[in-house]
Amino acid sequence: MPQLNPHPWFYTMLLTWLTLSLMIQPKLLSFFPTNPIHNKPPSNTKTQPWAWPWT
């Protein structure tokens, strides 16, 4: 069965991962996000307890 022979596919997989890791990933990580995260403290909201009519 040719699917079980790793010889032709192992080098292809290895080359693909090296390409991704060394060339494409640093280019993708250099982009700035379109919506940067601001260091804004979270606002605490006061909630009112629900007035249940049967209590």
Distance CA 30, CA 27 (A): 5
Cα separation of 12 and 5, whole Å? 13
Asked whether residue 3 is domain-assigned, the answer is yes
The confidence score (pLDDT) of residue 44 equals 80
- Structure confidence at residue 53 as a pLDDT band (50, 70, 90): confident
Name the token pair of 2: 């040719």
Asked if the model's pLDDT at residue 1 lies above 60, the reply is no
Residue range(s) defining the domain that contains residue 23 = 1-30
DSSP annotation of 19 reads: H
Res 3: pLDDT = 66
Closest residue by Cα to residue 28 from 20, 36, 37:
20
pLDDT tens figures, 10-48: 888 999 999 888 888 888 878 777 777 777 777 788 888
Is position 38 within any domain?
Answer: no
Is it the case that residue 51 has pLDDT exceeding 80?
yes
Whether 2 is in a domain gets the answer yes
Q: Return d(Cα 36, Cα 25) in angstroms, integer.
A: 20
